[in-house]
Protein backbone atom coordinates (compact mmCIF):
# COMPACT_ATOMS: atom_id res chain seq x y z
CA UNK A 1 0.00 0.00 0.00
CA UNK A 2 1.30 3.50 -0.78
CA UNK A 3 2.09 5.78 2.10
CA UNK A 4 -0.74 8.06 3.17
CA UNK A 5 -0.56 11.60 1.89
CA UNK A 6 0.50 13.98 4.64
CA UNK A 7 -2.05 16.48 5.87
CA UNK A 8 -1.09 19.76 4.23
CA UNK A 9 -1.96 21.98 7.14
CA UNK A 10 0.25 20.02 9.56
CA UNK A 11 3.16 20.45 7.14
CA UNK A 12 2.51 24.20 6.96
CA UNK A 13 2.50 24.37 10.77
CA UNK A 14 5.87 22.56 10.90
CA UNK A 15 7.34 24.95 8.33
CA UNK A 16 6.06 28.00 10.20
CA UNK A 17 7.86 26.70 13.30
CA UNK A 18 11.09 26.51 11.28
CA UNK A 19 11.04 22.71 10.96
CA UNK A 20 12.08 22.52 7.30
CA UNK A 21 12.90 19.24 5.58
CA UNK A 22 15.68 19.07 2.95
CA UNK A 23 13.32 17.36 0.47
CA UNK A 24 9.56 17.66 -0.09
CA UNK A 25 7.36 15.76 -2.53
CA UNK A 26 4.17 17.52 -3.61
CA UNK A 27 1.56 15.29 -5.20
CA UNK A 28 -1.34 17.09 -6.87
CA UNK A 29 -2.18 19.68 -9.50
CA UNK A 30 -3.59 22.63 -7.52
CA UNK A 31 -1.16 25.37 -8.57
CA UNK A 32 -2.33 27.74 -5.83
CA UNK A 33 -1.47 25.17 -3.14
CA UNK A 34 1.87 24.40 -4.78
CA UNK A 35 2.78 28.10 -4.75
CA UNK A 36 1.33 28.60 -1.25
CA UNK A 37 3.50 25.93 0.39
CA UNK A 38 6.64 26.82 -1.59
CA UNK A 39 6.29 30.43 -0.41
CA UNK A 40 5.85 29.25 3.20
CA UNK A 41 9.05 27.19 2.93
CA UNK A 42 10.86 30.07 1.25
CA UNK A 43 9.85 32.54 3.99
CA UNK A 44 10.96 30.15 6.74
CA UNK A 45 14.23 29.24 5.01
CA UNK A 46 15.10 32.88 4.29
CA UNK A 47 13.66 34.94 7.18
CA UNK A 48 15.93 37.82 6.19
CA UNK A 49 14.03 38.07 2.90
CA UNK A 50 16.93 37.52 0.47
CA UNK A 51 16.06 34.16 -1.06
CA UNK A 52 17.64 32.14 -3.84
CA UNK A 53 15.01 30.02 -5.58
CA UNK A 54 15.98 27.93 -8.60
CA UNK A 55 13.35 26.35 -10.86
CA UNK A 56 14.37 23.03 -12.40
CA UNK A 57 12.22 22.27 -15.45
CA UNK A 58 13.07 19.05 -17.33
CA UNK A 59 11.24 20.30 -20.42
CA UNK A 60 13.75 23.14 -20.65
CA UNK A 61 16.88 21.63 -19.05
CA UNK A 62 18.84 18.44 -19.61
CA UNK A 63 19.15 15.86 -16.86
CA UNK A 64 22.82 16.72 -16.53
CA UNK A 65 22.04 20.43 -16.03
CA UNK A 66 19.53 19.60 -13.29
CA UNK A 67 22.01 17.36 -11.45
CA UNK A 68 24.76 19.97 -11.72
CA UNK A 69 22.46 22.63 -10.24
CA UNK A 70 21.49 20.38 -7.33
CA UNK A 71 25.05 19.47 -6.40
CA UNK A 72 26.72 22.79 -7.24
CA UNK A 73 28.63 24.40 -4.37
CA UNK A 74 29.46 28.07 -4.02
CA UNK A 75 32.19 29.87 -2.11
CA UNK A 76 29.79 31.21 0.52
CA UNK A 77 27.81 27.96 1.06
CA UNK A 78 24.57 29.93 0.68
CA UNK A 79 21.16 28.30 1.15
CA UNK A 80 19.03 27.56 -1.89
CA UNK A 81 15.53 26.30 -2.56
CA UNK A 82 15.07 24.18 -5.68
CA UNK A 83 11.69 23.51 -7.28
CA UNK A 84 11.73 20.47 -9.57
CA UNK A 85 8.63 20.18 -11.74
CA UNK A 86 7.55 17.18 -13.80
CA UNK A 87 10.34 14.80 -12.67
CA UNK A 88 8.84 12.11 -14.92
CA UNK A 89 10.29 14.06 -17.86
CA UNK A 90 13.88 13.64 -16.68
CA UNK A 91 15.85 11.19 -18.80
CA UNK A 92 15.78 7.72 -17.24
CA UNK A 93 19.57 7.59 -16.83
CA UNK A 94 19.48 10.62 -14.49
CA UNK A 95 16.52 9.55 -12.36
CA UNK A 96 18.68 7.27 -10.20
CA UNK A 97 20.84 10.26 -9.28
CA UNK A 98 17.71 12.17 -8.24
CA UNK A 99 16.66 9.20 -6.09
CA UNK A 100 20.12 9.11 -4.47
CA UNK A 101 19.89 12.83 -3.78
CA UNK A 102 16.53 12.27 -2.04
CA UNK A 103 18.19 9.65 0.19
CA UNK A 104 21.21 11.84 1.01
CA UNK A 105 20.25 15.45 0.30
CA UNK A 106 22.38 18.51 0.96
CA UNK A 107 21.03 19.54 4.35
CA UNK A 108 21.64 23.26 3.82
CA UNK A 109 19.28 23.39 0.84
CA UNK A 110 15.66 22.48 0.22
CA UNK A 111 14.40 20.54 -2.81
CA UNK A 112 10.67 20.62 -3.61
CA UNK A 113 9.59 18.00 -6.15
CA UNK A 114 6.20 18.62 -7.74
CA UNK A 115 4.58 15.46 -9.07
CA UNK A 116 1.14 16.04 -10.56
CA UNK A 117 0.76 12.41 -11.66
CA UNK A 118 -1.16 10.14 -9.26
CA UNK A 119 -0.64 6.86 -11.10
CA UNK A 120 0.99 4.70 -8.42
CA UNK A 121 1.83 2.09 -11.05
CA UNK A 122 4.42 4.33 -12.69
CA UNK A 123 8.00 3.53 -11.72
CA UNK A 124 9.02 7.10 -10.86
CA UNK A 125 5.97 7.57 -8.61
CA UNK A 126 6.76 4.32 -6.79
CA UNK A 127 10.42 5.24 -6.34
CA UNK A 128 9.73 8.75 -5.05
CA UNK A 129 7.04 7.82 -2.53
CA UNK A 130 9.29 5.03 -1.23
CA UNK A 131 11.77 7.72 -0.22
CA UNK A 132 9.58 10.73 0.66
CA UNK A 133 6.15 11.04 2.25
CA UNK A 134 4.02 12.88 -0.34
CA UNK A 135 2.22 16.09 0.57
CA UNK A 136 -1.28 16.37 -0.83
CA UNK A 137 -1.65 19.49 -3.00
CA UNK A 138 -4.83 18.46 -4.75
CA UNK A 139 -7.72 20.93 -4.67
CA UNK A 140 -9.60 20.43 -1.37
CA UNK A 141 -13.12 19.00 -1.35
CA UNK A 142 -15.94 21.43 -0.62
CA UNK A 143 -16.32 20.30 3.00
CA UNK A 144 -12.70 21.36 3.70
CA UNK A 145 -12.99 24.87 2.27
CA UNK A 146 -14.45 26.41 5.44
CA UNK A 147 -11.29 25.54 7.34
CA UNK A 148 -9.22 27.34 4.72
CA UNK A 149 -11.42 30.45 4.94
CA UNK A 150 -10.83 30.57 8.71
CA UNK A 151 -7.11 29.98 8.19
CA UNK A 152 -6.79 32.82 5.66
CA UNK A 153 -8.66 35.23 7.94
CA UNK A 154 -6.53 34.17 10.91
CA UNK A 155 -3.37 34.91 8.91
CA UNK A 156 -4.71 38.44 8.34
CA UNK A 157 -5.52 38.85 12.03
CA UNK A 158 -9.25 39.14 11.28
CA UNK A 159 -11.98 37.44 13.31
CA UNK A 160 -14.69 35.93 11.10
CA UNK A 161 -17.91 34.42 12.45
CA UNK A 162 -19.69 31.46 10.87
CA UNK A 163 -22.05 33.69 8.84
CA UNK A 164 -19.12 35.48 7.21
CA UNK A 165 -17.35 32.19 6.49
CA UNK A 166 -20.49 30.75 4.91
CA UNK A 167 -21.04 33.82 2.72
CA UNK A 168 -17.42 33.88 1.54
CA UNK A 169 -17.81 30.22 0.55
CA UNK A 170 -20.96 31.04 -1.43
CA UNK A 171 -19.19 33.86 -3.25
CA UNK A 172 -15.76 32.37 -3.94
CA UNK A 173 -15.74 28.77 -2.72
CA UNK A 174 -14.95 27.25 -6.11
CA UNK A 175 -11.17 27.46 -5.54
CA UNK A 176 -8.58 28.40 -2.92
CA UNK A 177 -7.22 31.05 -5.27
CA UNK A 178 -10.56 32.87 -5.38
CA UNK A 179 -11.07 32.51 -1.62
CA UNK A 180 -7.64 33.98 -0.88
CA UNK A 181 -8.21 36.79 -3.38
CA UNK A 182 -11.54 37.81 -1.82
CA UNK A 183 -10.11 37.71 1.70
CA UNK A 184 -7.13 39.80 0.57
CA UNK A 185 -9.53 42.46 -0.74
CA UNK A 186 -11.49 42.50 2.52
CA UNK A 187 -8.26 42.79 4.54
CA UNK A 188 -7.12 45.77 2.44
CA UNK A 189 -10.33 47.76 2.92
CA UNK A 190 -11.16 46.78 6.50
CA UNK A 191 -9.97 49.44 8.95
CA UNK A 192 -7.77 48.53 11.91
CA UNK A 193 -9.90 47.35 14.81
CA UNK A 194 -13.07 47.32 12.70
CA UNK A 195 -15.33 44.29 13.21
CA UNK A 196 -15.92 42.25 10.07
CA UNK A 197 -19.59 41.96 9.10
CA UNK A 198 -21.57 40.58 6.17
CA UNK A 199 -21.94 44.15 4.93
CA UNK A 200 -18.16 44.32 4.38
CA UNK A 201 -18.26 41.04 2.45
CA UNK A 202 -21.01 42.30 0.12
CA UNK A 203 -19.36 45.70 -0.28
CA UNK A 204 -15.84 44.54 -1.09
CA UNK A 205 -16.49 41.33 -3.00
CA UNK A 206 -16.61 41.49 -6.77
CA UNK A 207 -16.30 37.80 -7.54
CA UNK A 208 -19.17 35.67 -8.79
CA UNK A 209 -18.64 32.05 -7.88
CA UNK A 210 -18.53 29.28 -10.49
CA UNK A 211 -20.07 25.96 -9.51
CA UNK A 212 -18.95 22.45 -10.42
CA UNK A 213 -21.12 19.86 -12.15
CA UNK A 214 -20.94 17.58 -9.08
CA UNK A 215 -22.43 20.37 -6.93
CA UNK A 216 -25.43 20.57 -9.27
CA UNK A 217 -25.89 16.78 -9.18
CA UNK A 218 -25.59 16.77 -5.39
CA UNK A 219 -28.24 19.49 -5.08
CA UNK A 220 -30.57 17.51 -7.37
CA UNK A 221 -29.93 14.32 -5.39
CA UNK A 222 -30.69 16.14 -2.13
CA UNK A 223 -33.84 17.68 -3.69
CA UNK A 224 -32.52 21.16 -2.89
CA UNK A 225 -34.43 23.02 -5.61
CA UNK A 226 -33.02 26.48 -4.86
CA UNK A 227 -29.40 25.32 -4.98
CA UNK A 228 -30.04 23.12 -8.03
CA UNK A 229 -31.39 26.14 -9.94
CA UNK A 230 -28.49 28.35 -8.80
CA UNK A 231 -25.78 25.84 -9.68
CA UNK A 232 -27.51 24.88 -12.93
CA UNK A 233 -27.70 28.50 -14.07
CA UNK A 234 -24.00 28.96 -13.22
CA UNK A 235 -23.03 25.92 -15.30
CA UNK A 236 -25.13 27.06 -18.27
CA UNK A 237 -23.71 30.61 -18.18
CA UNK A 238 -20.20 29.11 -18.13
CA UNK A 239 -21.02 27.04 -21.21
CA UNK A 240 -21.19 23.70 -19.37
CA UNK A 241 -24.52 22.56 -20.72
- The DSSP line for 120-138 is TTSHHHHHHHHHS-EEE-S
**Which residues sit opposite 27 in a β-bridge?**
115, 136
Do 95 and 148 fall within a single domain? no
Last residue of some domain: 104, 136, 168? 136
Report the alpha-carbon distance of residue 47 to residue 76 in Å, rounded: 18
Whether 3 is covered by a domain: the verdict is no
Last residue of some domain: 136, 167, 191? 136
Number of domains in the chain: 2
- Residue 97: in which H helix or E strand, if any? helix 92-103
Do 192 and 221 fall within a single domain? yes
Do 157 and 233 fall within a single domain? yes
Whether 225 is covered by a domain: the verdict is yes
Whether 2 is covered by a domain: the verdict is no
- Return per-residue pLDDT of the chain as tens, 241 residues: 233 445 787 888 899 898 999 999 999 889 999 999 999 999 999 988 778 899 999 999 999 999 999 998 665 668 899 999 989 999 999 999 999 999 999 998 999 999 987 777 788 889 999 999 899 898 888 888 999 999 999 989 999 999 999 999 988 888 899 999 999 989 988 888 888 988 888 877 765 555 667 667 877 888 877 767 766 766 676 665 5
User: In CATH, what number is assigned to the domain containing residue 48?
Assistant: 3.40.50.300
- Residue 13: in which H helix or E strand, if any? helix 8-16
Last residue of some domain: 85, 102, 136? 136
Do 146 and 129 fall within a single domain? no
Report the alpha-carbon distance of residue 181 to residue 237 in Å, rounded: 22
- Residue 231: in which H helix or E strand, if any? helix 225-237
Domain range spanning residue 50?
Answer: 8-136
Return all residues near 21 (Cβ < 8 A) that are at least 6 apart.
110
Do 164 and 195 fall within a single domain? yes
Amino acid sequence: MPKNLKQLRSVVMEVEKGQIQPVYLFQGDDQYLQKFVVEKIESALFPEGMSEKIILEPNEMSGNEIIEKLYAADLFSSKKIFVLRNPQNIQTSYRKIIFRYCEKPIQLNCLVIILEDFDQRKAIVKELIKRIDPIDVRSPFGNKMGGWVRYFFKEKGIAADSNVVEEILKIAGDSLYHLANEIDKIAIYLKDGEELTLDHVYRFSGWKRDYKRWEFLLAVGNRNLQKAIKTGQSLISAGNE
